[in-house]
Amino acid sequence: MRADTDRLPHGAEKARRVTAMFDTIASDYDRINGLMTFGLDKGWRRRTVAALGLSPGAVVVDLACGTGDLCAELERAGLVASGFDLSAGMLGAAHTVAPLTRADVTRLPLADASVDGATCGFALRNLVDLVEFQAELARVVRPGGRIALLEVAEPPNPVMRLGHRLYFTQVVPRLGALLSDRAAYRFLPLSVAYLPSTESLLAGLTAAGFVDVCRHLFTGGVVQLLVGTRA
């Protein structure tokens, strides 16, 4: 595993490879994601939207929106959603009525303090620069606005952590190779190595300008949700 993670791309090469990977798997992504999470991803998205605590009519952007699953969930909650993603393939496979734009989520075509909230689902580890992303979140979310960032995690229980690690690093790549693209589903488990520690993630959001920053674990800790309020 160590040798594999040492070869993970960084910088512009990471952006290029990640975008190309999602372009490749876009048509199969939702189906395989549902299979690999045993359908639990739907509940995770509902809890992400609920954690925003925003009133109907609030304007929320979903960043690295993919095929628009979170946008659709935001719309179902009565929020006004729009999405941004670099992958043309994922946007082309989208299934939401929310407007979607191809854009770098660290350089959004939005005015300062122009949205009430922001979400991001399972994409933090795919970004080239988390500090830039956190700063951009702080720029576009109005004071008092909310963020909810969903990402994978490692369960705190050692037995569950071992089982999850085996599933994520052994079963997921094999299923992905069988149902879609071998290289993509080998990369996705390895990409967890990009994630900084919980302390660093929370400290980064605080430094960017968010308060009441905290972390919630779902499904025994296989998924984490980072939430905060723009100061």
Residue 21 lies in a domain: yes
**Cα angle: 86, vertex 154, 33; to 5 degrees:** 45
Residue 57 lies in a domain: yes
Contacts of 194 (CB under 8 A, 6+ apart): 8, 125, 126
pTM of the predicted structure, to 2 decimals: 0.94
Total tally of structural domains belonging to the chain: 1
Residue 38 lies in a domain: yes
Residue 23 lies in a domain: yes
By CB neighbour count within 10 A (0-12 exposed, 13-18 middle, 19+ buried), where does 149 fall? buried
Tell me the residue range of the domain where 7 lies: 2-156+185-230
**Cα angle: 17, vertex 85, 34; to 5 degrees:** 85
> How many CA atoms lie within 13 Å of 55's alpha carbon, on the beta-carbon side?
1
Task: Express each pLDDT in 158-201 by its tens digit.
Answer: 999 999 999 989 999 998 889 899 889 889 889 999 999 999 99
Q: What is the pLDDT of residue 6?
A: 58
Q: What CATH number is given to the structural domain containing 189?
A: 3.40.50.150
Task: Express each pLDDT in 110-120 by its tens digit.
Answer: 999 999 999 99
Asked if residue 158 lies in contact with residue 127, where contact means CB atoms within 8 angstroms, the answer is no
Cβ-count burial 158-182 (b if 16+ within 10 Å, e if not): eeebeebeeebeeebbeebeeebee
Residue 144 lies in a domain: yes
Residue 33 lies in a domain: yes
Task: Express each pLDDT in 22-58 by its tens digit.
Answer: 999 999 999 998 999 999 999 999 999 999 999 999 9
By CB neighbour count within 10 A (0-12 exposed, 13-18 middle, 19+ buried), where does 156 fall? exposed
Residue 167 lies in a domain: no
Task: Express each pLDDT in 91-105 by its tens digit.
Answer: 999 999 999 999 999
